[in-house]
């Protein structure tokens, strides 16, 4: 099956610092790369996505970069706040429309 | 409008019982997906519908798992003769069209516990 590696598995930062989470994938045909935020006991919430025709996308404090040649994409959160604490999942699409998810990164923002 | 709605939110069953989990997608969404999320892991694909047609069921772990979407809206995931390894959160997601690069919106899931 298709693989995705997500790093780091846990990330602790001080409030106001930046956080970066990276994913690598194996399917060269993938063209859609969403990021989800999941708080404990809640639904995965789409926070940003990028398609393969662009290299970077930004939405306020959140940005995603994509390197199709190297098959990796990254989530960048600037000026982190305690409410950013959650588990973040990267994902990419497969030929069958489904998403393959990474193993998740637990982000802890310390006030 | 309302988001994806799933019921029940929690389900406890004894090993060997059958269970049925319901998903009400966002109105007008063509595509519907079921995922299984084990504790501490990312969601894993189970099956996919485009309208009433089940186009991909490659992720269903065994023939005890069955899903349907008879009228192209509400979907039901049924698990027969449940086993302890079926304990997980079952997530439903829907997207507007039938293309692979469209956002999927998730429900809150059903947490299934098999005793």
Taking all residues of chain A, what is their mean pLDDT, rounded to a whole number? Answer: 93
- Residue A53's pLDDT is 83
What residues of B are in contact with residue A103 (Cβ under 8 Å)?
A: 41-42
A51 → closest Cβ in B45, B101, B106: B101
A43 → closest Cβ in B98, B99, B109: B109
What residues of B are in contact with residue A93 (Cβ under 8 Å)?
A: 100-101
Are the Cβ atoms of A43 and B107 closer than 8 angstroms? yes
Which helix (H) or strand (E) segment is A72 a member of? strand A72-77
pLDDT tens digits, residue range A69-111? Answer: 999 999 999 999 999 999 999 999 977 688 999 999 999 999 9
Kindly give, in sequence order, each residue whose CB lies less than 8 Å from that of residue B100, ignoring residues fewer than 6 positions away.
A31, A32, A93, A94, A95, A96, A97
* Mean pLDDT score, A1-5: 73
Is the model's pLDDT at A47 over the cut of 50? yes
Is the model's pLDDT at A1 over the cut of 50? no
Q: How far apart are CA A27 and CA A1, in angstroms?
A: 9
Are the Cβ atoms of A46 and B56 closer than 8 angstroms? no
- pLDDT block averages, 10 residues each, chain B of length 115: 91 98 96 96 96 95 97 97 97 91 94 97
pLDDT > 90 in chain A, percent: 79
Instruction: State the residue for tokens 């029940």.
Output: B8
Are the Cβ atoms of B100 and A45 closer than 8 angstroms? no
Split at pLDDT 50, 70, 90, the class of A3 is confident
Cβ pairs A/B, distance under 8 A: 66
What residues of B are in contact with residue A6 (Cβ under 8 Å)?
A: 42
* Mean pLDDT score, A44-58: 93
Are the Cβ atoms of A95 and B100 closer than 8 angstroms? yes
Kindly give, in sequence order, each residue whose CB lies less than 8 Å from that of residue A80, ignoring residues fewer than 6 positions away.
A13, A14, A15, A16, A17, A18, A19, A61, A107, A109
- Residue A2's pLDDT is 58
Is the model's pLDDT at A29 over the cut of 80? yes
* Mean pLDDT score, A7-15: 97
Nearest CA in chain A to B59: A98
Are the Cβ atoms of B100 and A46 closer than 8 angstroms? no
Split at pLDDT 50, 70, 90, the class of A64 is very high
Interface of B with A (CB under 8 A): 4, 31, 33, 35, 40-45, 48, 50, 55-56, 58-59, 91, 98-109
SS3 per residue for chain B: CCCCEEECCEEEECCCCCEEEEEECCCCCCEEEEEEECCCCCCEEEEEEECCEEEECCCCCCCCEEEECCCCCCEEEEECCCCHHHCEEEEEEEECCCCCCCCCEECCCEEEEEC
């Amino acid at each position: 099956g298709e693989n995705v590696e997500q790093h780091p598995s846990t990330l602790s930062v001080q409030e106001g610092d930046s956080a970066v989470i990276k994913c690598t994938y194996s399917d060269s045909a993938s063209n859609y790369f969403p990021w989800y935020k999941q708080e404990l006991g809640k639904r995965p919430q789409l926070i940003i996505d990028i398609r393969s025709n662009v290299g970077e996308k930004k939405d306020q404090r959140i940005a995603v970069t994509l390197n199709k040649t190297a098959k990796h994409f990254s989530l960048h959160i600037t000026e982190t706040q305690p409410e950013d604490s959650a588990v973040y999942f990267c994902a990419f699409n497969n030929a069958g429309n489904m998403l393959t998810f990474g193993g998740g990164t637990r982000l802890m923002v310390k006030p | 409008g309302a988001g994806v709605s799933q019921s029940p939110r929690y389900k406890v069953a004894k090993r060997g019982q059958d269970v049925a989990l319901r998903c009400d997608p966002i109105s007008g969404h063509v595509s519907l997906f079921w995922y299984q999320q084990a504790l501490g892991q990312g969601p894993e694909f189970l099956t996919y519908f485009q309208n009433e047609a089940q186009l991909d069921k490659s992720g269903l772990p065994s023939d005890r798992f069955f899903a349907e979407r008879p009228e192209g809206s509400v979907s039901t995931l049924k698990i027969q003769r449940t086993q302890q390894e079926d304990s997980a959160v079952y997530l439903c997601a829907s997207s507007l069209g039938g293309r692979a690069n469209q956002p999927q919106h998730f429900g809150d899931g059903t947490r299934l516990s098999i005793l």
